[in-house]
Amino acid sequence: MVWEERFYAEPKDIFSIRLTCRKCQASSTIPLGDREYIPETCSYCHEGWFTKGSTDHKYLTWLLQSLIGLRRRDTDALCNIHFELPGHLNMPNGT
Ligand SMILES: [Zn+2]
């Protein structure tokens, strides 16, 4: 038998999107609700994280805006939304 643990997160459980610069290793956390755009450069070393108009930047901006919209979802909605996550996560900083 294989036992796998899963977590189910609702949109309101997601607090922020975190970006870590591959050049200087600094992290930027974008809290959901503060702003609805993703920075294109590192605020510490100013390395460009995304090419202007790139698909990556568009998808990440849409994800941020979608998460913000889903957090504001009407409590009378007729279904619940959950994101399924593995029980053991591999964190980007190795912790
Ligand atoms: Zn940087």
> Which phi and psi (to 5°) does residue 70 adopt?
-70, -30
Model pLDDT, residue 27: 95
Query: What is the value of pTM for the model shown?
Result: 0.78
Distance 9 CA to ligand 1 centre (A): 30
Model pLDDT, residue 90: 66
Residue 26 and residue 64: Cα distance in Å, rounded?
20
Neighbouring residues of the ion ligand 1, judged by CB less than 5 Å: 21, 23-24, 26, 42, 44-45, 47
Contact between residue 70 and residue 42 where contact means Cβ atoms under 8 Å apart: no
The ranges assigned to domains in the chain are 15-77
β-strand pairing of 27-31 with 6-9: unpaired
Model pLDDT, residue 81: 92
Distance 17 CA to ligand 1 centre (A): 16
Q: Is the predicted pLDDT of residue 92 greater than 70, yes or no? A: no
Model pLDDT, residue 75: 78
Residue 40 and residue 58: Cα distance in Å, rounded?
11
Please tell me whether residue 11 adopts helix, strand or coil conformation. helix
Distance 72 CA to ligand 1 centre (A): 32
53-89 residue pLDDT tens: 899 999 999 999 999 999 888 778 899 999 998 887 6
Model pLDDT, residue 21: 97
34-51 residue pLDDT tens: 678 899 999 999 999 998
